[in-house]
Amino acid sequence: MPSPLNIRDIGEARKAALEAEAKATGASISDIVRDWIDAGLARSRAERARAEWIAAAEAGLADEARHLDLNGPTLARFRKISATSP
């Protein structure tokens, strides 16, 4: 069961900034806080997904480098060298 979020102790400066933002945008403080939380969560998810993608790409590049070291360039196996080739 989720517990309620308590942000009563966020400090007077933050409360004043939220109130000013609410007045400037015409939105409620609750809506502003929800939007900012949603944006922060979305950014966090995107950064985590990007980090996972980079880690997977690095692993793939390392695997390709090992394969190249062991086997040489892949296309070299398909080249035919003959005396009659131009």
Instruction: Give residue 13's pLDDT.
Output: 93
Asked if residue 22 is part of any domain, the answer here is yes
Structure token pair of residue 19: 């109130």
Helix extents (H) in 1-86: 12-25, 29-71
Instruction: Give residue 1's pLDDT.
Output: 55
Instruction: Give residue 68's pLDDT.
Output: 84
Rounded to 10 degrees, what is the CA torsion of 21, 22, 26, 30? 140
Range of the domain at 18: 12-78
Asked if residue 2 is part of any domain, the answer here is no
Query: How many domains are there within the chain?
Result: 1
Question: Chunked in runs of 10, what are the mean pLDDT values of the chain (86 residues)?
Answer: 70 92 94 94 97 93 87 68 58
Q: Give this prediction's pTM.
A: 0.59
